[in-house]
Amino acid sequence: MISSEQLTHYIYAVRSAILAHEADIECLDREIGDGDHYINMKRGCEAIAGLAEALTKLPLVDALNSIGMKLLSTIGGASGPLFASFFIGMSKTLKVNGPDSAMHIAAAFDAGVQAIMQRGKAQAGEKTMLDVLIPVAETFKSLAAQGKSTREIAGILKQVAIEGVESTRSMLATKGRASGLGERVIGHLDAGAKSCQVMIHAVCDQVLDEQSRQPAP
């Protein structure tokens, strides 16, 4: 259902979206972190875009694993190993189920999110990227199980990602650098949650674009 060729389109779309959001991502990590999150994200995006050609020649499972391994050695910060775990976790689950249905892709996305939770020992409500990723994974699984169309799933996941990043505004931080700042973090969005929302929007927009170019059934 997702080819390695499509994966490279998603990679380029994610890189463009992260670069286009430099100001807000950078500013958020400066407010309640150490200000390097945008640089970390940009470094990761450039490294993966550099691999994109080679990835088209690999099966999707191997391409996702290669992305994880590359991120492990390039992003740095707290977020590097977490994003690496996501892709490696996703790859492992796709290897078992295959990528042939929305339910399998949703299950693989969920496995990636679970891998982040294990690696970072974090849950929902701790003012991290997980406050976008967990609700997106849950909604994705539920919509896929209900047999919703790809177009409908992509549209709803974009909205859930926005709600997720907004939900971090009122949270106290209990993981990562912001966790030492107490009440001062209230009113600020989490930078990692913002970059996940931006990436999810980029992929969903790409999926919606592919759908709009498909001939009507």
Contact between 90 and ligand ADP by CB under 6 A: the answer reads: no
The residue whose two tokens read 């913002």 is 194
In this structure, the number of other CB atoms found within 10 A of the CB of residue 145 comes to: 12
Least Cβ distance, residue 169 to ligand ADP (angstroms): 13
Least Cβ distance, residue 52 to ligand ADP (angstroms): 22
Secondary structure (H, E, C), 118-142: HHHCCCCCCCCCHHHHHHHHHHHHH
Is the CB of residue 135 less than 8 Å from the CB of residue 203?
A: no
- In the list 44, 77, 99, 164, the residue contacting ligand ADP (rule: CB under 6 A) is 77
Q: Which of residues 37-96 bind Mg ion (CB under 5 A)?
A: 37
Query: Looking at beta carbons, which residue is closest to ligand ADP?
Result: 192
- In the list 14, 108, 113, 122, the residue contacting ligand ADP (rule: CB under 6 A) is 122
Least Cβ distance, residue 120 to ligand ADP (angstroms): 3
Contact between 177 and ligand ADP by CB under 6 A: the answer reads: yes
Name the segment binding ligand ADP (CB under 6 A); options: 31-39, 54-62, 138-146, 152-160.
31-39
The span from the CA of 197 to the CA of 217, in Å, is 31
Query: Looking at beta carbons, which residue is closest to Mg ion?
Result: 33
Q: What are the angstrom distances between the C-alpha of 199 and each of 29, 36, 146, 181, 186? A: 17, 18, 25, 27, 24
For residues 15 and 104, which CB has a smaller minimum distance to ligand ADP in the complex? 15
List Cβ neighbours of 187 (8 Å cut-off, separation of 6 or more): 169, 170
The span from the CA of 211 to the CA of 150, in Å, is 8
Contact between 189 and ligand ADP by CB under 6 A: the answer reads: no
Question: Count of residues binding ligand ADP (CB under 6 A)?
Answer: 23
3-class state of residue 10 by DSSP: helix
Is the CB of residue 9 less than 8 Å from the CB of residue 204?
A: no
- In the list 21, 37, 70, 188, the residue contacting ligand ADP (rule: CB under 6 A) is 37
CA angle 208, 12, 15 (to 5 degrees): 105
Is the CB of residue 137 less than 8 Å from the CB of residue 113?
A: yes
Q: Which of residues 11-40 bind Mg ion (CB under 5 A)?
A: 29, 33-34, 36-37
For residues 124 and 208, which CB has a smaller minimum distance to ligand ADP in the complex? 124
Contact between 91 and ligand ADP by CB under 6 A: the answer reads: no
Chain residues that interact with ligand ADP, rule: CB under 6 A: 29, 33-34, 36-37, 40, 77-79, 82, 116, 120, 122, 128-130, 175-177, 190-193
